[in-house]
Amino acid sequence: MPKFLIQGSFTKEGTKGLTKEGGTKRRQGVEKFFGTVGGKLEALYFAFGETDVFAVVDFPDNVSAAAISLAGNSTAAINVQLTPLITPEEMDAAAKKSTDLHPPVS
């Protein structure tokens, strides 16, 4: 399954919810939310600074990941950013893949 890094920044409303529920309960809610599209939470960490939460998640496909991003960003609680993650082996395959690029001549 494709793996994604999810970064989230809580809004004022999201911070209130986290303070009320706590981190463990929030993680359980996130696991359930990701599971609605077949996703599986690998890791979840809270942080302080510009980004409040980091998660590594397996989703069945890009459409499922996009659905989670849309749903999360549609709330007043969090701003979500998803980044596809590529394994070293996938990067090896990409580097070996033949392309037909002809740079412009100056």
| Whether residue 106 has pLDDT greater than 80 | no
Task: Give the integer Cα–Cα distance in Å for 85 and 65.
Answer: 12
Q: How many CB atoms lie within 10 A of CB 71?
A: 13
- pTM over 0.85? The answer is yes
Mean per-residue pLDDT of the chain: 95
96 and 38 in contact (C-beta within 8 Å)? no
| Whether residue 79 has pLDDT greater than 80 | yes
| Whether residue 42 has pLDDT greater than 90 | yes
Q: Specify the pairing of strand 40-46 against strand 53-58.
A: antiparallel
Enumerate domains of the chain plus CATH numbers: 3-86 (3.30.70)
| Whether residue 95 has pLDDT greater than 90 | yes
